[in-house]
Chain A
Amino acid sequence: MGTDGDYFMDFNSLLLTLIVFAPVTAAVIIFLTPKDKTLFVRIIAATATGLTLILSIVAFVLYDRAAGAAQYQFQGIAPWVPSLGISYHVGVDGIGLTMVLLTGIVGFMGVLISWNIKDRPREFFAFFMLLVAGVFGVFVSLDLFLLIFFYELSIFPMYILIATWGSTRKEYAAMKLTLYLLIGSIIALVGVLAVYFSAQFPAGVLPEGATRTFDLLLLQQSNIPIEVQRIWFLPIFIGFGVLAGIWPFHNWSPDGHVAAPTAVSMIHAGVLMKLGAFAAIIAMRLLPDAAREQMPWVILLVTVNVVYGAAIAMVQKDFKYVIGFSSVSHMGLVTMGFATMNQVGLNGAVLQMWSHGIMTACFFAVVGLIYDRAHTRQINELSGWARYFPLATVAFIIGGLVSMGMPGLSGFVAEFQIFMGLWQGPFFGQIWYYPIIAILAIWGVILTAAYVLRIVQQVFFGEWDPHKWHDLRPSNFGDKLALITFSVLMIVVGLAPALLLGTIELGTKPLLALLGGG
């Protein structure tokens, strides 16, 4: 394994590294820029994220989908702390690739949306670049230490970004978010270490002279005693799952989303929560035996997510809180999809990660546009915005339909597959309560329709009173470009899901095989 492109010999093995380090380089340049060169800072940020977007599209196109091609491609590896078996090992499978593309899109749009930020733009963009780099880093890591390194790297800029540039109880929300996420990640770290020390490798797997490794691909070939698996599966899964908003550890997420500045909300709900789900799958890869035993329990937790999240979203008065709780509900569906442990459910889960990422980024962009002008987010104070922002209204409605699971849009394909997966049950036999879960979870989808329609009706339609708002100004080119891109993507993927599903399946098939099925 890993023979294609070891040690960064060619473009293929450098590609992912470029994607991760373009924003890091931008962050360093921005930090060194004099304070008053705002335009330069913006251009650097846009260039870096634009470059990563182009590179992630290139990666998506170049990924070899032929039968028999390697699962993990664009691999590059360099030793980091050799004595402990830590290496800088990057590479993506179908799942990681989809997430990299998502991050590329949302990151670039995030920069466009926050183009006109006024308070200390230099610091804002520098921390934002670090955040984007950390997120990319997690999606491409094939070494568990590297993964945790990037995972935590993407959490701490959130604190500064939310606490400084946020709104509505921002300090409280920022602290809550950071503590929740770091508790999760560090407990997962303990679990990973326990696995690291207990893994036994068949002869010939490890390179000569090494006794232990953090390399994910090597650890997957090791035998981990079932007792260790049983103890550490949930700490690792839920530890990372905190970032995916698994109930009852979801509490940071609505507060965090609401308090964050627009671009950060977009990255945060759009991409960062996927990081949690993505890292949680690592627990399934590492400890497949325990995953088979314990995932059916996890599904009980996330059922609460789906239904309760949607129900709470119903009764919110703050526009942004509605979106925040809707994320809790939708991310619940993602984990539910993983817990089905069959091909169609897993596919649905990954597609839901993508679909929710685009949809929620679109939502937050619209909320940010309106909030910047209205300076309020109380639903009952807003009305008639369709008159002023027709494009944003269309984008929001498309997002809303995606969120409700309307056929023809990306959300439908994802959610339909997740529910199919639930009925079908795990590959090793139906578990009696899975159909009940499906029946319960469908209520989440119904409630979603209710709160989305409520917002659309209240905020966008109804009386438009231009004299009520003193800070009205049209949206700029960047905002429009972002909204159009998001809308188009939601429709295109809805009409032609095979564009993504073919790639996703290349990642979920081996995952299922690792679990023992497929």
Chain B
Amino acid sequence: MTGEQLLQGLWAILPEIVLLLLGILVITIDLIKPGQRKGRTFGALTIGGALVTTLIIIYQAINQPPEPVLAFAGMVRIDLFVQMFRLMFSVALLLAALISLDVKGVKTNGEFYGLLIFSTVGMGFMAASNNIVMLYVGLETTSIALYMLAGFIRESTVSTEAGMKYFLFGAFTSTILLYGLSLLFGFTGGKTGYAEIAATLQQLAAQQETLPLMVALVLIAVGFGFKVAAVPFHMWTPDVYEGSPTPITAFISVASKAAGFAVFIRFFLIVFGPLQEQWIGFVALLAAVTMTLGNLVAMQQRNFKRMLAYSSIAQAGYLLIGVTAVGELGTAAVLFYLATYVLTNIAAFAVAEIATNATGSELIKDMAGLSRRAPGIAFALLAAMLSLAGVPPLAGFFGKFYVFQAAIGYTNPTGQNSLVWLAILGVLNSIVALYYYLMVLKVTYVDRAEGEDVPLTTSGGFKLALATTVAGMIFFGIFATPLYTLSTLAAQAVR
């Protein structure tokens, strides 16, 4: 490796380097002066660092060369697709840190912010990986930090339980993933790079030797399915979402899911591209089951965070529709959907934390009277719920529209529109979902509660996060074109 290549490689992974240094800085400050009150130093550092990273990513994305940058002997591949995911991760980090500033048990804890940053670094490498070894390293870096964060509040039994469950499920599925990857390694005669594996698979598919490959594919899908919370690998979701500190729940539900989809799309479109005809039916089924089960169970939840957990499972189902509709439209739809989902879900969880703080309860029915106590917060919740439900003029409407449009427009190699059924199922599902999202709004806007005249005060961090996310939801719900253009460009860069 020449010096020039090294420099190019370092430049390519600059956002990760900055975040890594930031994480080390935060942990070091935490270690140097233990026991002292450091207030919001760590939170502010994290927010500042995330902001800088975001700017770096935007700068890099603007100057992105048309050809993908392959760095470190092809271990890492940087293109617009990766840049868009990095952008989502850093924005999610920024917002998660913002809503952590006033959360009991985590707000002044340097370790907490450090882990948050390290897991973001892992996600960046997951999205950028171009090699199965790199993929696994990125995935584990992300996951291990998140396991600890989920169980971060050690005094709380639910939090500890959440951490333990997340770890056990995560370790289990990651082993299955590793097994699948090792099978792939064997079948291809020791290849690890995506492009090389794909080339070998092309030959094997031409010889009709796909059955063993399908075994590897299913095992790998288990690992990715866990990350994106697809049924039947979703069992951890409700407990982890309920038990984790709320900012972490928000972060897992958006950033970790986005990272899961980054590898899902890359891997299935590139590595398993030659097997496309074989896996489309499988992933379509996964999408159908995921959204249907997620929505049906979400309807019955009384705890707001658990409801959001099942709703996020259902959202994974819609996103999988976009993955199934292989092609530019489908991938662009997933990217757009995920980007708006980052804003929406963080807003929803921020309101969950505010409401829980005010009433001491996580139940939906205890959010009654919120619109009288805090009209602004209630409005943010309204926007988040309607955006999740896909109602205009909010960003979620465009997200759903793009996904369904991609599914209806998809034509299989024989020229048939074979995914219309999936779009119709998705549409019916979004009606079911509307029901439970509206029920939340009913409670906050219609139901009366004791103490509903007591105004609810909210701290600045939450206000800023909510204002940003709501503004984003409305902006992208009306002017969707810039983001959609970026998504389309990113989708073109996948292959």
State which residues 355-404 of B face A: CB under 8 Å: 371-372, 375, 379, 382, 386, 391-393, 397, 401, 404
Residue numbers in B under 8 Å from A17 (CB-CB): none
Q: A40 on the interface (CB 8 Å rule)?
A: no
Cross-interface CB contact of A182 among B404, B408, B434, cutoff 8 Å: B434
Chain A: CB-nearest residue to B372? A120
Which residues of A lie under 8 Å from residue B409 when comparing CB positions?
193, 197
Are B481 and A186 closer than 8 Å at their CB atoms?
Answer: no
Shortest A130–chain B CB gap in Å is: 9
* Interchain CB contact under 8 A, A83 and B391: no
CB within 8 Å for A83 and B484 given contacts A171-B446, A187-B427 = yes
Q: Are A179 and B435 in contact (CB under 8 A)?
A: yes
Chain B neighbourhood of A81, CB < 8 A:
480-481, 484
11 contacts between A and B (CB under 8 A): A81-B484, A83-B484, A150-B392, A153-B392, A156-B386, A160-B382, A178-B434, A179-B431, A190-B420, A193-B408, A196-B405
Scan residues 427-456 of chain B and give those whose CB is less than 8 A from a CB of chain A: 427-428, 430-431, 434-435, 438-439, 441-442, 445-446
A160, B392: Cβ atoms closer than 8 Å: no
Evaluate whether A190 and B375 lie within 8 angstroms (CB atoms) in the complex, with A83-B485, A160-B445, A163-B442 already known.
no
Chain A CB within 8 A of B276 CB: no
Q: Give the shortest distance, in Å, between A132 (CB) and chain B (any CB).
A: 15
B417 at the interface (CB under 8 A from A): yes
CA of A143 to CA of B224, assembled, Å: 39
A-facing mask of B262-298, CB < 8 A → 1, else 0? 0000000000000000000000000000000000000
Inter-chain contact A171/B442, CB cutoff 8 Å:
yes
Interface positions of B from 228 to 278, Cβ below 8 Å from A: none
**Alpha-carbon distance A335/B408, docked complex (angstroms):** 29
Given A163-B445, A170-B446, output 10 extra A-B contacts at Cβ < 8 Å.
A83-B488, A84-B405, A149-B393, A152-B397, A153-B392, A183-B428, A190-B404, A190-B408, A190-B420, A196-B405
> A35 an interface residue at 8 Å Cβ cutoff?
yes
Residue of A at shortest CB range from B382?
A160
Q: Main SS of chain B's interface residues?
A: helix
The residue on B at minimum CB distance from A193 is B408
Q: Are B481 and A149 in contact (CB under 8 A)?
A: no
Query: What 1/0 mask marks residues of chain A from 173 to 196 whose CB sits below 8 Å from any chain B CB?
Result: 011001100110011011001101
In this assembly, does A159 line the interface, its C-beta being within 8 Å of a C-beta of chain B? yes
Docked Cα-Cα span, A40 to B459, in Å, equals: 29
For A171, the chain B residues whose CB sits under 8 A away are 442, 446
Across the interface, which residues of A come within 8 angstroms of B428, CB to CB?
183
B424 adjacent to chain A (CB < 8 Å): yes
Total chain A interface residues with beta-carbon distance under 8 A: 36
Q: Evaluate whether A160 and B441 lie within 8 angstroms (CB atoms) in the complex, with A190-B424, A193-B405 already known.
A: yes
Q: How far is the CA of A346 from the CA of B368 in the complex (A)?
A: 49
* Contact A152 B484, beta carbon cutoff 8 Å: no
B373 to chain A, nearest CB (A): 12
Q: Are A193 and B379 in contact (CB under 8 A)?
A: no
* Complex contact A178–B438 (CB within 8 A): yes
B115 within 8 A of A: no
Which chain B positions have C-beta within 8 A of A163? 441-442, 445-446
Contacts of B19 in A (CB 8 A): none
Per the bound structure, the CA–CA distance linking A197 and B393 in Å amounts to: 24
Task: Contact check, B397 vs A149: say whether CB atoms are below 8 A apart.
Answer: yes
Residues of B close to A389: CB separation below 8 A? none
- List of B residues within 8 angstroms of A83 by Cβ: 481, 484-485, 488
Bound together, the chains give a CA A55 to CA B371 distance in angstroms of 35
Q: Which residue of B lies closest to A231 (CB)?
A: B420
CA distance A178 to B391 in the complex (A): 11
Give the shortest distance, in Å, between B280 (CB) and chain A (any CB): 18
- In the complex, how many residues of chain B place their beta carbon closer than 8 angstroms to a beta carbon of chain A? 36
B423 at the interface (CB under 8 A from A): yes
Closest A residue to B408 by beta carbon equals: A193
CB B332 to nearest CB in A, in angstroms, measures 9
Q: Name the contact of A186 in the complex, choosing from B427, B442, B480, B485 (C-beta under 8 A).
A: B427
**In the assembled complex, which residues on chain B have CB atoms less than 8 Å from the CB atom of A196?**
405
**Contact of B438 (CB < 8 Å), options: A123, A159, A187:** A159
Residue A60 CB within 8 A of the other chain: no
**Smallest CB gap from A198: residue in B:** B417
Contact of A152 among B379, B392, B420 (CB under 8 A): B392
**Those of B324-361 within 8 Å (CB) of chain A:** none
Chain B residue numbers with a CB within 8 Å of A170 are: 446
Quick one: closest B residue to A170, CB to CB? B446
Using A123-B375, A179-B435 as known contacts, say yes or no to A156 and B427 having CB atoms under 8 A apart.
no
| Other-chain residue from A35, A84, A149, A194 in contact with B375 (beta carbon distance below 8 A) | A35
Q: Which of A419-451 contact B (CB under 8 A)?
A: none
Name the one of A123, A179, A189 contacting B404, with C-beta atoms under 8 angstroms.
Answer: A189
The answer on a CB contact under 8 Å between A193 and B404 is yes
Residues of B within 8 A of A182 (CB): 431, 434
A186 pairs with B431, CB closer than 8 A: yes
Chain B: CB-nearest residue to A186? B427
Bound complex: CA A189 to CA B409 (Å): 13
Q: In whole angstroms, how far apart are the Cα atoms of A125 and B243 in the complex?
A: 40
Which residues of the partner chain A approach B484 to less than 8 Å between Cβ atoms?
81, 83
A82 on interface, CB distance cutoff 8 Å:
yes
* Cβ of A164 under 8 Å from chain B: yes
Which residue of chain A is the closest to B391 with respect to CB atoms? A156
**In the bound complex, CA of A84 to CA of B431 (Å):** 25
Establish whether residues B485 and A197, one from each chain, have CB atoms under 8 Å apart when the complex forms. no
**CB-defined contacts of B446 to chain A, threshold 8 Å:** 163-164, 170-171
A164 contact set on B, CB distance < 8 A: 445-446
Whether A175 pairs with B427 at a CB distance below 8 angstroms is no
Instruction: Tell me which of B393, B401, B408 contacts A153 (CB under 8 A).
Output: B393
- Check A416 for interface membership: any CB of B closer than 8 A: no
- Which residue, B404, B434, B441, has most C-beta atoms of chain A within 10 A? B434
B205, chain A: closest CB distance, angstroms: 29
A427 to B101, CA, bound (A): 71
A337 CA to B428 CA, complexed, in Å: 31
Q: How far is the CB of B416 from chain A (nearest CB, A)?
A: 12
When distances are taken between beta carbons in the complex, the residues of chain B under 8 Å from A153 are 391-393
| Chain A 78-107 interface residues, beta-carbon cutoff 8 Å to B | 80-84
Contact with B along A322-339 (1 / 0, CB 8 A): 000000000000000000
A 363-397 contacts with B by CB, 8 A: none
